[in-house]
Amino acid sequence: MIRSGTGLRMNEDTLQLWFAYPDDVLERGAAEACELLLSEEERARLKAFKFDRLRREYLATRALVRTALAHTHPIAPEAWRFSSNAYGKPAVEPACGLQFNLSNSRELVVGLIATGAEVGVDVEPFTRASEIAEVAPRVFSKLELAQLDGLPDSERLNRGLSLWTLKEAYIKARGMGLSLTLEKISFVFGGAEEIRLELDPSLNDEPSRWRFCLLDHAGHRIALMVEQAADAELEIWEARPLLAPPTRLPDCAVRWLPRS
């Protein structure tokens, strides 16, 4: 287990993407060890879940963020405390310069950590592509829908999955949840920039403020949204077993967009 004093302070030009796997909590003693890291409030919320699957997702998510932050900053995993803004976006309390965001599915938990920059992350299994396609008219912009309609059937589901994860990562980075209307956020594919972000003026934000990327891991599509990350180095870490010393995975070819 990672303890106090093992964390290394993260450089401002570095991002860390973390992976954990909810089913690892099924290993003997793993759930009990993870629960020891949680606050009383987190333990109460854990017990409130009715289904084992949801308990595993929640427990793996809370253990991952504590493990990842402890690896990045010299505070023990169980000592971290968190607050949330009015829309539910979590933050370290008291502030220490680190920003993070989390996303989870049945089989994969992801966390993104940065220094001094807002971040958002979303993860979706490939198997959700059909479900996302069904709600596309309610969540995608007119421009996104027009581009989807122009694609062959073989590409439409994959594009929809990318759009959904990008939009989710953006609203999570903004920290305003669904108060931001999804149809007013457009990710436009094509051209020299490959993908660009367009925002309705009512959202009070500038697309140039953000860099983003897509990557796939373990049967999932992952979108990262980072404030001013044109030259950021992305480190990828895996917590497996969940509370063992983490492993840095090989660097992958991540393309930050739009291109600078």
Res 228: pLDDT: 80
For 199, the token pair is 């925002």
User: Using CB atoms within 10 A of its CB, is residue 90 exposed (0-12), middle (13-18) or buried (19+)?
Assistant: middle
* 242 and 195 assigned to the same domain: no
Res 259: pLDDT: 75
Q: How confident is the model at residue 1 (pLDDT cuts 50, 70, 90)?
A: very low
Choice between 2 and 60, residue whose per-residue pLDDT is larger = 60
User: Would you say residue 260 has pLDDT above 70?
Assistant: no
Instruction: Kindly report whether the global pTM for this prediction surpasses the value 0.85.
Output: yes
* 135 and 220 assigned to the same domain: yes
Number of domains the chain is built from: 2
| Residue ranges making up the domain that contains 19 | 11-117+232-251
* 99 and 179 assigned to the same domain: no
User: Would you say residue 231 has pLDDT above 80?
Assistant: no
Choice between 1 and 172, residue whose per-residue pLDDT is larger = 172
* 160 and 87 assigned to the same domain: no
Residue 91 and residue 101: Cα distance in Å, rounded?
Answer: 8
- Can you list the alpha helix ranges (DSSP code H) found in the chain? 30-35, 40-48, 52-72, 129-139, 142-149, 153-174
User: Would you say residue 6 has pLDDT above 80?
Assistant: no
Average pLDDT score, the chain = 92
User: Using CB atoms within 10 A of its CB, is residue 29 exposed (0-12), middle (13-18) or buried (19+)?
Assistant: exposed
Within-domain flag for 131: yes
